Structure 1
Amino acid sequence: MASRGKKQKKRATMRLVYIDFWSALKISFLVSIIVAVITVALGLGAWWLLDRFGVVGSVSAFLADIAGDQGAALVAGLTFSNVMTFTLVVALLEVIVVSALGAIFAALYNLAVHVVGGWKVTFGSD
Structure 2
Amino acid sequence: MSSVAEKLQRKSQKPAATKQVRLKLVYVDFWSALKFSFLVSISLGIILVVATIFIWVVLASTSVFSSIDSIMQQILSDNTYSVSQSVSLPQVALFAIVVALLNTVIGTALGAIASLLYNFSVKLTGGLLVGFTNQ
Report the TM-score, using the length of structure 2 for normalisation.
0.84
Runs (5+) with no aligned partner, structure 2 = 1-9
Candidates 62, 69, 74, aligned match of 1:60:
69
Amino acid at match of 2:114: F
1:91 corresponds to 2:100: yes
Q: 1:113 to 1:77 in 2, by over 3 A?
A: same
CA distance in 1, matches of 2:82, 2:66: 12
Rg larger for: 2
Query: Could you tell me how far 1:125 is from its partner in structure 2?
Result: 0.4
CA distance in 2, matches of 1:104, 1:71: 49
- Kept in 1: contact 2:33–2:111 (CA 8 A): yes
Alpha-carbon deviations, 1:47-98, whole Å to 9, x = none?
A: 0011001111211222122213377256642111111111111111111111
Alpha-carbon deviations, 1:15-69, whole Å to 9, x = none?
A: 1000000000000111111111110111011100110011112112221222133
Moved over 2 A (4+): 3-7, 68-71, 73-76
1:46 corresponds to = 55
CA distance in 2, matches of 1:38, 1:32: 10
Aligned length: 124
- Kept in 1: contact 2:30–2:116 (CA 8 A): yes
Candidates 23, 33, 40, aligned match of 1:14:
23
Percent identical: 36
Report the TM-score, using the length of structure 1 for normalisation.
0.89
Amino acid at match of 2:65: V
Write the mapping of 1:18-29 to structure 2, written as runs, cut at 5 A: 18-29=27-38
- Kept in 2: contact 1:64–1:70 (CA 8 A): yes
CA distance in 1, matches of 2:69, 2:96: 21
1:115 corresponds to 2:120: no
